[in-house]
Structure 1
């Protein structure tokens, strides 16, 4: 179960448009994708409501974890989204 810690680059954090882009990308992967703050329970990254409920701001560190088929590929692709300003 690979995981990575990344800082959110989007200027508005993981809200509205950036969250939508991330959730849609997470839904494309066949395995499980989870996200959350370090030291807390992670939520389903395919759920817009769950991701928005985290209220993650710009520059905050998150844990991204993937499981199942294509887990490493998913981790790489999704972490790249998080370190990109998706609101630009």
Structure 2
């Protein structure tokens, strides 16, 4: 897929400098930057999916907290200790 973008002269100059310094094409740098940005901004999993194992399946059934309640307690204790300083 081809995508065209408009860059202001300063940004284009920075991109050209970075390409020359790294020996990579401007397209390669733009693709790498976009990949990094999307990885940070668009999570691969939703917050629910990330914590699902901690709070159950959402089906009304109870969660299996074998060991998880202990982990939760430890995290809460550490957070309280850090915030009490």
Query: TM-score range with shorter-chain normalisation?
Result: under 0.3
Greater fraction strand:
1
Greater relative contact order, per chain length (Cα 8 Å cut-off, separation 6+): 1
**Which one has a larger percent helix, Structure 1 or Structure 2?**
2
For the pair shown, the structure with the greater C-alpha radius of gyration is: 2
